[in-house]
Structure 1
Amino acid sequence: MSNLPKGGSFLFSQTNPQDIFTPEDFSLEHKMIYRTAAGFVTDKVLTQMDELEAKKEGLIRELLEAAGELGLNGADISDEYGGMEMDKISTTIIAECMGRSGSFAMTQGGQTGIGSMPIVMFGTHEQKKKYLPGIASGKKVGAYALTEPGAGSDALSAKTRAELSSDGKYYVLNGTKQFITNSAMGDIFIVYAKIDGDKFTAFIVDGNSEGLTTGAEEKKMGIKGSSTRSVILEDVKVPAQNLLYEIGKGHVVAFNILNLGRYKLAANSVGNAKYALELAATYANERKQFGTPIAEFGLIKEKLATMAIKIYVTESMVYRTGGLLENMMNSLDTSGEDGGQVAAKGIEEYALECSMNKVFATEALAYAVDEGVQIHGGYGFSAEYTIERLYRDARIYRIFEGTNEINRTIIPVTLMRREAKGDLPLIEQITKLHEKIAGGNILREGEEGLVQAAKDIFLLTMGAGIQKYGKNLPKHQEIIGSLADLAIQAFAMESAWLRAQKAVVNQGEANARLKLNMAMAYINSTIGILEYTARETLTALAEGEQLTYLLENLKKITHFSIRNTVALRQEIAFAISKVGKYIV
């Protein structure tokens, strides 16, 4: 583990392009898994989407079992418990492919992620043996009951209570959970409750337990095919052996599971956004106005290109992070009884990257479906066209697995905590930046220089925030949000550029041209936005001579020239229109 990069360390160091994982590195097995998962979604799910959206009785279970037969539900589960135990790239591929499946992605994600990973990582051998085979096969449906009506993002303020019986054989649970995916058909619920009113703890609760009932289906904007209900617990008796992990350590279970959940939701977003682009590009090629396919109009080209660029950047971030997670898993000894907890601790190292992926990917998806509707014109607003459903379904992504606002606050706060523990040299790097700036203007040459400029913009602004507010910086969410955006964009720009550079070396510049164009277009069109964000944030952090000093420093580290991004986008749009879908 000592040789692996620390989470967040990309801000302070250079990364060799050959050290990151990209989709171009898929093995033959990865490609086979991709074909299997994509084929399942195309053949089994999309062909029954109307029935799925109408909640046809028994269809969800039928699809889950079909996915189970292909091994798609057990990717994270050991073969000892009926799973396939695939690597993190394979699980990412499955999540990406499931992104195209609309509301089924939420059902299957609840099954394979938050509904089962608490048991995979924190369960005892007996708990795993009892519950995981059914989840892997799809014969049992898993659900995750954390959210409560009054708690929302503040999960630890939950009011659900658990009281130990006088004979110590079971806990009695009382409370209400809200917005619980898979609740209508849930066989296994991961429920969080406070023992004695204060010890936040996780439990495995059987769906047929006496006293466990569900409310009516929520009438949702999107993902209509998935079940979302409240779960009511009235004197539900849970065997003591179904307590998950340790008393009072429910937050450890919850937060570790959310890291993976956020990452997989980002992968879902990649698949969903690719589908939106495919629909938009196909329609733009077929739809004629004034005798010309609208794909040939400049503003439509710009939309198609920007959609493709955002997908490329997101895909680069997601698989780079997947490579980090896989390398982490390979460095750990997870053979013992506490192997799941060891794995969870390892994944936690990249909690910051998981949050970055979640925010960027879900907002890239939002852009893709929105412009997808726009390209369809009035037809995009019609339920007869698939893009209308994608638009509605995508809205929940920015809320699931911790809102994007919550995830933004996590990023700078995590960096500050790791600096305080001596894990990251945040203050040291801020000091070094000021010393470098003192030497005069720093000329940024090429995209590599602009990527470094993005990192320096973040460090300069973060330093100003720490100087003004110190440990109280997290209380100022407008500042924290801007700092998070600067850090996210630095990771996004670097991931896109490293992937393109790796492709140039491995495939040749001609074959990597489209990747290069996408990376260059994104970096050059984003750097100015980061400069403005920093200027606005610094103005909120300082005044007078101090502000003048900071703005002069900002100017010194953003001394750059940019490329013709209009020409780059035109070339990208041509490539996308030619094949009618995302291509790199």
Structure 2
Amino acid sequence: MAQTQGNPVRGGGRFVVEDAKPEHVVTPEDFTEEQLMLADTVRAFVERDVKPRDADIEKLDYSLTVQFMRKAGEIGLLGADIPEAYGGLGLDKTSTTLLAETLAPASSFALSVGAHTGIGTLPIVFFGTQAQKSRWLPKLATGELIAAYCLTEPGSGSDALGARTTAVLTDDGEHYLLNGSKLYITNAGFADVFIVYAKVNGEHFSAFVVERGTQGFSIGQEEHKMGIKGSSTRPLYFEDALIPADQLLGEVGKGHLIAFNILNIGRFKLAAGCLGGMKEAIQLSATYANGRQQFGKPISSFPLIAAKLADMNTRTFVAESMVYRTAGLIDDSLSGVDSAQEDGGLNAAKAIAEYALECSINKVFASEALDDIVDEGVQIHGGCGFIQEYKIERLYRDSRINRIFEGTNEINRLLIPATLLKRALKGELPLIDKAQQLQQELLNPAPLSSRNQEHTPTSAASNILSALKKTFLMVGGLAVQKYGLRLEREQEIVAALADAMIDLYALESALLRTRKLADKSTAAQNPQHAADMVALFAEQAAERAGARSRAVLASLEQGENLRLQLSVLKRLLRFDPTDCSALRKRIAAKVIAEERYVGT
């Protein structure tokens, strides 16, 4: 697996208060030969087996999906996250992230696999007893059994702890009686094992493993969805469903630990899948733009079409940098966990939770970037983009669910600053100290420090990143001063702070990758191309920061105080503008020439 070198103190949110070094991040350029071979195996499986039967999968052919799931099990895809002791491969998260990205062009089938391998299987991997792991994991690794995750209810979605499904222990202590229902359950039509959340005695939120065919357990009809039509989505019903007591997962009343920890990795893996979708959309759009003639020449030669391809490629480069940086951080956090120990799974879940904040950031950025990219892809296709014969139409419909899956983007935006503040209040981050130091610096009328005077391809982006960190600390510090712990009620301000953190992490990830690439560049890798994309994204991020911060300051201050803070903001974000048109032309030229996403 790819390794970082001398990583600093672990823990999420450190990017706000510390500057990482290029050698501290994992990038796609660090993939090992073994990782690339695994990706090639998955890619061949998708092209050879899945894509030729895509139309049948879209018609909800359960038997075909199950058949391909078992083939996926044969090549190790279903067991990538399962320890070797239970029949899996026990791969690192960088490898499993690459597999999730590579599987994305399989569309609905990729969703079925993702639901099985991630949120369906990992609760047992992390929280199951030895007996539970031995009973279910080997068969989940091969696809003999298929898993589903059952959290959402008609009356509770984002408010997971508001679940009304109940579980009552029978008098003999041998079984739990489950009553209630679940909604929008992926894989429900053909799953064998269901991770179900219920409140013991109506109070204690807990998790259970429920098997298909259980007495009192039934499955409703398929939902008719806007997209991902080839995936099964059905409701579940429990009427005194008889669940053996030894199928309680974890402890009574500790179901929230399972639900929220699993959602962390689910959000991160969703971002990886979105990344694969972005790359496919670029390939489809660039190929179409080169082939479509208008006014006697290909539409890819028109600057407005080329600019779209440049922006699509840039956002994909940034998302890719974030996703694999986060995978590396999680792998580093997991490096001290012995999964063979009795509490190894729980410790692994805790290690992943260290980066819950980054998982949410990845999910929000990638799902929204994919939506924008496929939208532009449809626009490049023109009328053809509205026709089902062209896959970009499918990607457009399929992408929309990602902003709802694994916690809506609104919920994740609220979680990002809240998690940062909690870590600071626990003393895990010097956030308050940094904010106070900045206040002292801002009171000094002298020019602000930390401006890089060197003229390198990334120096302007580095200066913008430094200014964005200071801007976040300034605006966030004022918000905390005004509202204290009541800040969570000011959701528009919290969401703006989340967007600031997302841009920080995104820009820093892409910048570190580009600097690392420049340090180790070869003839096959182009640091200038990466530097162009970083420069373009940095300029856009600075513009967003200015507009966002002015809006927040206007809600925090009035009169002379507001004018003072706006003058400070202007000092922080004073940069010479970048020629974005020239950057886009250079970026687009590479995408158009290669008819695919070009990272380096």
Give the 3-state SS of the residue equivalent to 1:559 in structure 2. coil
Aligned to 1:298: 303
The answer to whether residue 170 in structure 2 is matched with residue 173 in structure 1 is no
- Contact 2:62 2:189 (8 Å CA) reproduced: no
The residue identity in structure 2 corresponding to 1:366 is D
Give the 3-state SS of the residue equivalent to 1:507 in structure 2. coil
Aligned to 2:455: none
In structure 2, which of residues 447, 451, 464 is the aligned counterpart of residue 441 of structure 1? Answer: 447
Equivalence map 1:563-574=2 (5 Å): 563-574=578-589
Aligned to 1:61: 66
Deviation string 1:307-343 (CA, Å, 9 cap, x unpaired) is 0000000000000000001111112233311100000
**What's the RMSD between the two structures over aligned residues?**
1.3
In structure 1, which of residues 544, 547, 555 is the aligned counterpart of residue 559 of structure 2? Answer: 544
Aligned to 1:187: 192
Equivalence map 1:35-50=2 (5 Å): 35-50=40-55
Which deviates more, 549-558 or 346-355?
A: 549-558
Deviation string 1:58-92 (CA, Å, 9 cap, x unpaired) is 01101100100000011110111111100111100
Residues 333 and 4 (structure 1 numbering): CA distance in 2 closer, same or farther, change over 3 Å?
Answer: farther
Aligned to 1:351: 356
The answer to whether residue 76 in structure 2 is matched with residue 71 in structure 1 is yes
The answer to whether residue 408 in structure 2 is matched with residue 403 in structure 1 is yes
Give the 3-state SS of the residue equivalent to 2:189 in structure 1. helix
Aligned to 1:535: 550
TM-score for both structures, normalised by structure 2: 0.96
Deviation string 1:366-406 (CA, Å, 9 cap, x unpaired) is 01110000000000000111100000000000000000000
Distance 2:577 2:38 in 1: 40
The answer to whether residue 595 in structure 2 is matched with residue 580 in structure 1 is yes
How many residue pairs align between the two structures?
584
The answer to whether residue 531 in structure 2 is matched with residue 516 in structure 1 is yes
- Contact 2:7 2:24 (8 Å CA) reproduced: no
Distance 2:431 2:9 in 1: 18
Deviation at 1:2, TM superposition (A): 9.8
Deviation string 1:520-576 (CA, Å, 9 cap, x unpaired) is 111122211111101111101111222122212211211212321110111110100
Deviation at 1:419, TM superposition (A): 1.3
In structure 1, which of residues 52, 63, 68 is the aligned counterpart of residue 57 of structure 2? Answer: 52
Deviation at 1:508, TM superposition (A): 5.6
The answer to whether residue 382 in structure 2 is matched with residue 372 in structure 1 is no
Aligned to 2:399: 394
Equivalence map 1:156-555=2 (5 Å): 156-439=161-444, 440-442=446-448, 444-445=451-452, 446-507=460-521, 511-555=526-570
Deviation string 1:154-199 (CA, Å, 9 cap, x unpaired) is 0100000000000000100010000000001110000000001100
- Contact 1:11 1:455 (8 Å CA) reproduced: yes
Distance 1:343 1:272 in 2: 28
The residue identity in structure 2 corresponding to 1:56 is D
Distance 1:525 1:475 in 2: 29
- Contact 1:180 1:231 (8 Å CA) reproduced: yes
Aligned to 2:121: 116
Distance 2:560 2:249 in 1: 56
The residue identity in structure 1 corresponding to 2:492 is E
- Contact 1:119 1:128 (8 Å CA) reproduced: yes
Distance 2:340 2:140 in 1: 22
The residue identity in structure 1 corresponding to 2:174 is K
Distance 2:578 2:442 in 1: 25
Distance 1:41 1:569 in 2: 32
Q: Which runs of 5+ in 1 are unaligned?
A: none
- Contact 2:93 2:331 (8 Å CA) reproduced: yes
Distance 1:331 1:123 in 2: 20
Distance 1:78 1:12 in 2: 35
Distance 2:584 2:106 in 1: 29
Distance 2:437 2:40 in 1: 48
The residue identity in structure 2 corresponding to 1:487 is M
Deviation at 1:222, TM superposition (A): 0.3
Which deviates more, 421-430 or 316-325?
A: 421-430
Give the 3-state SS of the residue equivalent to 1:58 in structure 2. helix
Aligned to 2:143: 138
Which deviates more, 342-351 or 501-510?
A: 501-510
- Contact 1:100 1:275 (8 Å CA) reproduced: yes
TM-score for both structures, normalised by structure 1: 0.98
Deviation at 1:3, TM superposition (A): 4.6
Which deviates more, 244-253 or 11-20?
A: 11-20
Q: Which runs of 5+ in 2 are unaligned?
A: 1-5, 453-459
Deviation at 1:37, TM superposition (A): 1.5
- Contact 1:442 1:559 (8 Å CA) reproduced: no
Distance 2:62 2:557 in 1: 61
In structure 1, which of residues 92, 99, 108 is the aligned counterpart of residue 104 of structure 2? Answer: 99
Equivalence map 1:3-18=2 (5 Å): 3-18=8-23
Deviation at 1:449, TM superposition (A): 0.9
Give the 3-state SS of the residue equivalent to 1:14 in structure 2. coil
Give the 3-state SS of the residue equivalent to 1:185 in structure 2. coil
- Contact 2:360 2:412 (8 Å CA) reproduced: yes
